[in-house]
Amino acid sequence: MICELSRRAWARMLLGAGLAMLSACAPQKDPPESTISWLAPQTRAALPADCAIPIYSAAPNVDYQEVAIVEVADDINADESEVAALVRRKACETGADAFVILEDQRQKRGKPLPGASNEQGQDVGPDSGVNVRAREHTPEVGELGHQGRYVNGVAIVYKRDAAESDAAKPTQ
């Protein structure tokens, strides 16, 4: 009976260790990144993270002031709802009345341009440091080598009469 229990215990431990090793080999997703850049003094308190701030795909036809730029970057395969939730949460942090998406891009890694190399030991171009500089550069959205999702927009505050206007309708 004791040998039977220890065999089962060993089998469970080995199975658990095997599963832990397999999960460590699974591709890891980088956490999303977000920034808020203030364009005006912060005059409003942050709203709760789950606030119902309207998100527009184009600027509303009302008088408003831009108070902050919000940028969110995530993996190319990021879940749409995860990205939208982070955009909304960051927009709520600004205390604004609404958020306008200016840019929403996805980009996959493509083939290198002629003359570019991803190999560490290979020189490119007339001087030997070009490939080293290219490998140390972190590509932005639109540049060769960037792989991910990027959302950029502005948090806006309605001016006096705009809050009473029915002209601003959310698109999302």
- Domain that residue 86 falls in: 29-108+147-164
> Looking at residue 13, what is its pLDDT?
75
Residue-level pLDDT at 76: 77
In a domain, 10, yes or no: no
Written as six digits, the tokens of 33 are 């990144």
Q: Report how far residue 14's alpha carbon sits from residue 101's, in angstroms, rounded to the nearest whole number.
A: 50
Here the tokens at position 135 are 């490998």
CA distances to 3, 23, 25, 67 from 17, in Å: 21, 10, 13, 51
CATH number at residue 152: 3.30.110.70
Residue 54 lies in a domain: yes
Prediction pTM value: 0.61
Domain count, the chain: 1
Please give the average pLDDT of every successive group of 10 residues along the chain, which has 172 residues: 63 72 61 89 91 94 95 83 91 96 78 58 52 60 66 92 49 52
Q: Are 86 and 34 in contact (CB under 8 A)?
A: yes
User: In this predicted structure, what is the pLDDT of residue 22?
Assistant: 58
In this prediction, residue 6 carries a pLDDT of 74
- Which two tokens mark 43? 């005059």
